[in-house]
Amino acid sequence: MFFLTQKLLPLINDGARIVMISSGLTRTIIPESTPYASMKGAIDVLTRYLAKELGPRRIAVNVVAPAAIATDFSGGVVRDNPELNKRVAGMTALGRVGQPDDTDPMISSRFLRTIVGSTPIASKSRAVWRSKRESSGVSGGGCVS
């Protein structure tokens, strides 16, 4: 992501936005997910730094962190394994595993144009924004107008 963004920056217009994709695994621990979760955690940090560095160009940079989505990821394990699907669904507010279309509204949200350097957490029942300030215990932050 770093090198791709670095190469594309000269082509990105001022006032544009960049939306990175992270994972709910950056906030929870699941055995044998260390490589994936740590890589996604790096995307979270990269997003905050890019948001600050690209602010003068009015480029909004955010990361969307969905929970488990029924896709081909890991061989479709969440989608195709009924037992795992049921277990994951039992941990969600709506009692179901996320579908690929569930993340589209978050990624295309006009609201992300006024939020910078934050992580909208797509939890299937609502979106929760966690900014660097909020996650460090300081209230507020994340919004710019």
Residue with the bigger pLDDT between 67 and 54: it is 54
Which of 16, 36, 84, 96 is catalytic? The answer is: 36
* pLDDT for the residue numbered 94: 80
Residue with the bigger pLDDT between 18 and 135: it is 18
* pLDDT for the residue numbered 44: 92
Please tell me whether the overall predicted TM-score, pTM, comes out greater than 0.85 for this model.
Answer: no
For the question of residue 36 being annotated catalytic, the response is: yes
Considering the four listed CATH numbers 3.40.50.12160, 3.40.50.720, 3.90.550.10, 3.20.20.70, the one that applies to the domain covering 2-135 is: 3.40.50.720
* pLDDT for the residue numbered 129: 40
φ and ψ at residue 38, rounded to 5 degrees: -70, -35
* pLDDT for the residue numbered 52: 92
pLDDT band of 145, cuts 50, 70, 90? very low
